[in-house]
Structure 1
Amino acid sequence: MFNNLREDFAAHQRDPWRQGVWVMAVYRFGRWRYKVRPALLRRPLSLLYKFLKIWIQITTGVDLPCETRVGRRLLIEHFGGIIVSGDTVIGDDVTLRHGVTLGLRRTGVPGAPVIGDRVDIGAGAKILGPVRIGADAVIGANAVVLCDVPAGALAVGVPARIKHRQPALQEAL
C-alpha cells in the first residue's frame, strides 16, 4: 500500500493539495483493509473507509470505489464529476480528467471497461460497457466510447470513431 501511495504522490507532482492524491489515498486504504485479519479488526476499518469515501465524493466529486482494480500511478488530472464503476479495470500510468465516466452501459447488464496502460482520457469522455482500451490509446474530450479501441489509437466523437495516429505524432505525445 505505501509503495503505491508514494508512486501516486509522485504522479501528482508531490503536491499534497491536489485532490487526486486524496482520492488515491482513500482508494488504497480501501483496498488494503481487505487484507486485515481477523474480521473483527477489519470492521472498524471498513466503517472508516465508508466515511472517508463519502467525504472524498463530496469534496472532490470523484467516485472511485475500492472494488475497482487500479494499476500504479493513476493520475487524476482535474477533479470533479469522475465516476468509475466498481467492475472497471484500469492499467498503469492512466490519466483521467474531469467529467470522465467509466462504467456499465445499462443498469443490470454486466460488463465494464478495461483500460490499458498509459491511456490518456480527455475531459468529459464516457467509456461504457465491456470495451477494451489498448495501451497508449488517447480518448478525446467528450468522446462516447462504446467499442474497443486498439493500442495507440485515438477515439473521438459521439459515438467515438477510431483514428489511427501517425507514428511521428505518437512519439511526440
Structure 2
Amino acid sequence: MLIHWYRLANWLYRHHVPLLPRLIYYLQYILFNSSVPPSCSIGGGVKFGYGGIAVVIHARAVIGNNCIIGQCTTIGGKSGHYEVPRIGNNVHISTGAKILGPITIGDNVIIGANAVVVKDVPSNCIVAGVPARIIRTNIRVEDYD
C-alpha cells in the first residue's frame, strides 16, 4: 500500500505539481510511520514488507527494480557526505537493516536482518552483521525467496 502512495506522490513530483506530493508524504508518514519522499527513485516491482512500517529512505536514494524492503529499514546518508546509497536490482533488504552513506549495493544481494551496511557490496552475495560483511558469494536470489 505504501508503494502506491509513493508512486502517486512521485508522479506528481516529477510533473511539478505543487503541494500535493508533500501532503501525500505527510499522509503516508501518519498512516505508516514511514518517510519515503517523492523525490527518491524507486524502481518497478519493489515491495515493502508488512506495508512498509517504519521505513526511512533518503530523498536522493536510488533503488533498483524488484527489490524487497523489510519493515524498520533505513536507507540514508552519512554526515559529511553528499552522496547517498544506490541499490541495484533484485536486492532483498531484511527487517531492521541500515544502509548508510555513499555506497553502492550490487544486483542480487541479500542483506540480513539488522545489518548495518557502510561499505560497497558487490553483486550476488549475502551480507550480515554489524558492521555488515560478506558471508556468502555467488548466490542466486531465486533460491532464497
TM value normalised by structure 1: 0.76
Change (3 A) 1:55 1:97: same
Letter in 1 for 2:116: V
Other-structure match for 1:32: 11
Gaps of 5+ in 2: none
Change (3 A) 1:171 1:64: closer
Gaps of 5+ in 1: 1-20
Report Cα offsets for 1:114-165 as digits up to 9, x if no partner.
Answer: 1000000011000001111111100000000000111111111000111223
Larger fraction in helix: 1
Other-structure match for 2:23: 51
Q: Which of residues 90, 93, 115 is equivalent to 2:66?
A: 93
Secondary structure of the corresponding residue to residue 72 of structure 2: coil
The share of aligned pairs that are identical, in percent, is 32
Distance 2:129 2:109 in 1: 15
Distance 2:60 2:21 in 1: 19
Distance 2:73 2:36 in 1: 11
Distance 1:155 1:137 in 2: 8
Aligned-residue CA RMSD in angstroms?
Answer: 1.8
Other-structure match for 2:128: 156
Is the radius of gyration larger for structure 1 or structure 2? 1
Distance 1:96 1:159 in 2: 19
| Aligned partners of 2:10 and 2:21 also within 8 Å | no
